[in-house]
């Protein structure tokens, strides 16, 4: 989690894809396909981070609109800490087409962005062990 926080929630970060998985993770093959697709479209692409839902802090879950139930289905978010926004994926995680459409909307600036807490309301404290 610390690597994700440093790469995606810092003032110098770029857009990252966060895949939050329940205790028993379903097949991530569509998400792996999305990662390959984005890498083919742009080799620098969006970095992907898979994080178990159980290790996320309450303030991160709240800020990104992630269910608190540890057995909730896989959740996907695009996050940009520098610009202080995130985008929810609300489609079928098993559909590579829906994931690609969502990612393309983010790349083109057409996705509905939601605001992250400001720098005065940090998501991750310096001393947090994530």
Looking up residue 12, the CATH number of its domain turns out to be 3.40.30.10
Position 6 pLDDT exceeds 80: no
What residues make up the domain containing 22?
2-115
Q: What is the pTM of this model?
A: 0.79
Helix, strand, or coil (residue 10)? coil
pLDDT tens digits along 17-51: 888 888 776 667 777 777 777 777 766 678 888 88
pLDDT for position 112 = 95
Domain presence at residue 108: yes
| Count of CB atoms situated within 10 Å of the CB of 10 | 12
Domain presence at residue 110: yes
User: Going edge to edge, which strands form the sheet with 75-80?
Assistant: 48-52, 16-21, 75-80, 85-88, 114-115
pLDDT for position 123 = 55
pLDDT tens digits along 61-110: 888 988 888 778 889 999 998 899 999 999 988 888 898 899 999 989 99
């Amino acid at each position: 989690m610390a690597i994700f926080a440093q790469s995606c929630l810092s003032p110098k970060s770029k857009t990252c894809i966060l895949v939050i998985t329940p205790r028993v993770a379903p097949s991530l093959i569509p998400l792996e396909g999305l990662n390959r697709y984005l890498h083919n479209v742009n080799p620098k692409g969006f970095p992907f981070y898979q994080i178990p839902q159980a290790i996320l802090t309450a303030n991160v879950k709240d800020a990104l609109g992630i269910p608190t139930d540890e057995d909730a289905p896989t959740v996907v978010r695009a996050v940009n800490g520098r610009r202080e926004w995130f985008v929810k994926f609300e489609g079928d995680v098993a559909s590579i087409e829906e994931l690609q459409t969502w990612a393309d909307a983010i790349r083109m600036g057409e996705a509905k962005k939601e605001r992250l807490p400001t720098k005065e309301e940090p998501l991750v404290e310096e001393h947090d062990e994530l």
